[in-house]
Chains A and B, each alone.
Chain A
Amino acid sequence: MAGDIQPIVMPKWGLAMEEGVVTAWNVAEGATITKGQEIADIETSKIANVFESPVSGAVRRIVAQIGETLPVGALLAVVADKKVGDADIDAFVAKFDAALKAALAAKASEKKPEPETVEITGGRKIRYLKLGSADGPPIVFVHGFGGDLNNWLFNQEALAESHTTYAIDLPGHGGSTKDVGAGDLASMTAALAAWLDALKIARTHLVGHSMGGGVVLQLAATKPDMAASATLIAPAGLGPDIAMDFINGFIEASRGKKLEPVLQMIVANPELVTRDMIEDVLKFKRIDGVDAALKKLRDGLFPGGRQAASLRDSLAKLKPPVQVIVGAKDRIIPAAHAQGLPGNVKAHVIETAGHMPHMEAAAEVNRLIAAIAG
C-alpha cells in the first residue's frame, strides 16, 4: 500500500539553497529510524550540517548516492513498513521522480521571496525577510554580533509553515544601516522597537540569538505588551563573560585563513564552517562602515572585555513566557549563564551544540520555538 510509504527528501536550508549533496549516510537500508535521528550529512554551497529524519520507520530504500548533487525536494530515501513489497517501493520512487520534475518545472517560473527594507527613525534603513502568513502574533528572529537574517536558514522556513515570520538585520549588519547609534544594547533594542513600529507589529514572539538574545530580553522587559513570548538562544545579558578573542578575531581577520579558526569557535563541530560561510563574512566586513560599526558595538557591549548589560534581574519580572536555550559546548558565552535562572524561565541545555544551537540542533530548537509560540 503506497499510503504507508513515506519519502525523505532533500531539505531546504535557507532561501538561497537550491540543491545539496549527501556526503554521508549514517543509516543503512533495512535500519529502523526514529524522527529526529541524525541519518545523514548534507552539504550545500553555503553550509554543511547533519540531517535529522523528519519521520520514523524502516529505511527501505536509500535513493541518494553519496556525492550526488540533488535539488531541494529530491527523494533521498524511502521509509515504509516491512510488509510493503519491493515492487511498490519501485513504483513509489518512479512516481515521486516524475512529480518532482513537474514541480521543479513549475517552480522555475515562481517568484522567490526576497528581503525588503523599511526606513525607521532617523531615516535609517532596516532590511528584513518575511516568510509565511498566518493569524496570530508573528515570530521575529534577531541575530547576534556579526550575523544577519540568513543565520536563521534552518529555522525561519520551517516555522513559516505555521506562523508569519520575520528575520531582521540589526543596525551595523547585513543589508541594514551601518549607523549603530551608541553601539550598546539599548540602541539595538530601540532600533528593533522602531522597526516593529514601522511594520505595525504590536505583539510578537521574539527569538533572539546571542547579542540578539539580549536585545529581545531588553525589549520584553521594557515593552512587555509587545512580547507574546521570548526565546533567548545563547543570549547576552545573563552574565559578564564573553570570549573577546572571538569578538576581536572576528573584527580583525581580513583573510579567510585567519577568519576560519575564529568562526570555528562558534560551533561544536568545526566542519560546519564552510568556505562560502567564511567568504560571506569577509564580504560583509569589507562593506563601507561595517568595521567601524562592529568596533563601536564591541566597545559599547563589552567595555573592558566584559558584558556591560546585566539583564538577569529583569527575567523574574517578565510577564510573557520565556525560555533560554544554550549549547553545553558554547565557547563564546558560557552555558553556565543559563544556570540558576528564576522559576518562570525554562532553561534548555543542548549537549551537542556550541554557540549556534539554532543551526547545530535546528530541529530541537524549532520544536521549542513552536511550543512556546503555540
Chain B
Amino acid sequence: MAKKTYRQAINEALRQEMERDPRVILMGEDVAGGLGAPGEQDAWGGPLGVTKGLMPKFGRDRVLDTPISESAFVGAAAGAAAMGLRPVAELMFVDFFGVCFDQIFNQAAKFKYMFGGKAVTPLVIRTMYGAGFRAASQHSQCLYPIFTHIPGLKVVLPSNAYEAKGLLTQSIRDDDPVIFFEHKAMYDETAEVPDDPYTIPFGEANVTREGDDVTIITMGRMVNFCNQVADKLAKEKIGCTVVDLRTTSPLDTETVLETASETGRVVVVDEAHPRCNMAADISALICQEAFDDLKAPIKMVTAPHCPVPFSPALEDIYIPGPPKIEAAVRAVMGHA
C-alpha cells in the first residue's frame, strides 16, 4: 500500500468524491488561487496546498475561489447544501469562525430540526486548527469543543493520513453539516493509505493501543503523542489503552466507558483550553457512568487557560505534549 501524506490523503478524498458525485463542489479563499488576476491560476490550492490540482481537473465551476468574507461564503455553502449541492467549504483557520458562526450554528445546524426532518444540509467545512505552527494566538486555537456543543453539527478530528481520507469521504457523503478539523502540524506526516475510496463511520472510536493499566482518551494530533507515550511505557510494563475518539460529535460513549472501566485509571488528553473542553466533558461522563470502576482520580492533560503564545519557547510549553502525558499516566499509576 502506498504511503501518502495527510495533505495527499485529503486531496485524494476530495478528488475521488468530486469524480463520484457531480454535486460535490469546493469553495473558499484561494482554494485554487489567482482568480481575477492575470498570473498563474491554481497558484495556491489553499494556504497549505491541500486543494492544489483540483481546479485544473474540475474547473472554476466546481472549485470556487471566494472573496475574503467568511460570513458570505459559509452562508452561501449552507444555502447550496440546503438546495441540493454537497459543498466542501474551506475556512482556512478555525480561529476565523467568529464572523460566520450565525450561518453555522443558527442556520446550517438547525435546518433539519426546524424543518421537521425534511431538510438535509450536506455541508462540510474543512478547517485548520492547533498549535505548534508559530502562528500566534489568532491562528492556533482548537475550538472543536465549541462546535461539539452545538446539536446538529458533526465534529471530526482525523489523527493520521489513513483516518483523514476515510473520515473526509464519510463527511462528504453524510447528510448533516460536518466540521472537519485538520491539524496544521500534521500535513506532512505519512501513513499507508489505500488508493480506492473508503469510509470510516462516525461515532466509532479507534482503540490504537491496548493495555491493562491506564486508559488514555484523546483525539486529533494528540493521538500520536499518546501512542508514543504508550509505546515508551510498555517497555516499563505500564500498559496503556489509547482511544482515538475520531469524532467528538457523535461521541462513542460506549468505547469511552468500556475502556475506562477496564483499567479504572483514566487520562484524558485534549489540546483545547481546559474549561468546557472535551477532557472536561469526557471526565464528567466517566464520573457519572463509571465512577465505581475508577481506582484513581481522572487526570486531564490540556493546554493552559491562556491564548496560544507567539514565543516559540512558550508555545512549546503550551502544547500538552508527550512529557505531560507521561507524567499524568505515572501520576494515576502512583495513586494507590
Query: A residues within 8 Å of B by Cβ?
Result: 254-257, 275, 283, 286-289
Q: Is the CB of A254 within 8 A of B201?
A: yes
- 1/0 contact string of B177-218 vs chain A (CB within 8 Å): 000000000000000001011111100100100100000000
> How far, in angstroms, from A256 to B241 measured CA to CA in the complex?
14
Q: Is the CB of B204 within 8 A of A254?
A: yes
Q: Is the CB of B196 within 8 A of A288?
A: yes
B16 to chain A: closest residue by CB: A288
Which among A257, A275, A286, A288 has the greatest number of chain B C-beta atoms within 10 A?
A: A286
Q: Is the CB of A287 within 8 A of B194?
A: yes
Q: Is the CB of A287 within 8 A of B201?
A: no
Q: How many A-B residue pairs have CB under 8 A?
A: 22
Q: Which single member of B194, B197, B201, B210 contacts A283 (CB below 8 Å)?
A: B194
Q: How many of chain B's residues touch chain A, expressed as a range?
A: 10 to 19
Determine the chain A residues whose CB is within 8 A of the CB of B198 once the complex forms: 283, 286-288
> How far, in angstroms, from A254 to B202 measured CA to CA in the complex?
11
Query: A257-B207, A286-B166 provided; 17 other pairs, C-beta below 8 A?
Result: A254-B201, A254-B204, A255-B204, A256-B207, A283-B162, A283-B194, A283-B198, A286-B198, A286-B200, A287-B194, A287-B196, A287-B197, A287-B198, A288-B196, A288-B198, A288-B199, A289-B196
A290 to chain B: closest residue by CB: B198
Determine the chain B residues whose CB is within 8 A of the CB of A275 once the complex forms: 210
> How far, in angstroms, from A257 to B197 measured CA to CA in the complex?
24
> How far, in angstroms, from A256 to B204 measured CA to CA in the complex?
10
A255 to chain B: closest residue by CB: B204
Determine the chain B residues whose CB is within 8 A of the CB of A257 once the complex forms: 207
7 closest A-B pairs by beta carbon, nearest first, are: A286-B198, A288-B197, A287-B198, A287-B196, A286-B199, A255-B204, A286-B166
Q: Would you list 16 pairs from A and B whose C-beta atoms are within 8 A, ordered by A residue?
A: A254-B201, A254-B204, A255-B204, A256-B207, A257-B207, A283-B162, A283-B194, A286-B166, A286-B199, A286-B200, A287-B194, A287-B196, A287-B197, A287-B198, A288-B196, A288-B198
> How far, in angstroms, from A283 to B166 measured CA to CA in the complex?
10
B200 to chain A: closest residue by CB: A286
> How far, in angstroms, from A286 to B202 measured CA to CA in the complex?
13
A16 to chain B: closest residue by CB: B1
> How far, in angstroms, from A159 to B7 measured CA to CA in the complex?
40
> How far, in angstroms, from A183 to B198 measured CA to CA in the complex?
21
Q: How far is the CB of B18 from chain A (nearest CB, A)?
A: 15
Q: How far is the CB of A267 from chain B (nearest CB, A)?
A: 19
> How far, in angstroms, from A16 to B204 measured CA to CA in the complex?
28
A288 to chain B: closest residue by CB: B197
> How far, in angstroms, from A21 to B310 measured CA to CA in the complex?
45
> How far, in angstroms, from A257 to B258 measured CA to CA in the complex?
11
A275 to chain B: closest residue by CB: B210
B170 to chain A: closest residue by CB: A286
Q: How far is the CB of B103 from chain A (nearest CB, A)?
A: 32
A257 to chain B: closest residue by CB: B207
Q: How far is the CB of B312 from chain A (nearest CB, A)?
A: 35
Which among A256, A283, A289 has the greatest number of chain B C-beta atoms within 10 A?
A: A283
Determine the chain A residues whose CB is within 8 A of the CB of B210 once the complex forms: 275
Determine the chain A residues whose CB is within 8 A of the CB of B197 once the complex forms: 287-288
> How far, in angstroms, from A275 to B204 measured CA to CA in the complex?
17
B194 to chain A: closest residue by CB: A287
B207 to chain A: closest residue by CB: A256
Q: How far is the CB of B153 from chain A (nearest CB, A)?
A: 23
> How far, in angstroms, from A255 to B199 measured CA to CA in the complex?
13
A178 to chain B: closest residue by CB: B196
Determine the chain B residues whose CB is within 8 A of the CB of A289 once the complex forms: 196
Q: How far is the CB of B128 from chain A (nearest CB, A)?
A: 25
> How far, in angstroms, from A274 to B197 measured CA to CA in the complex?
25
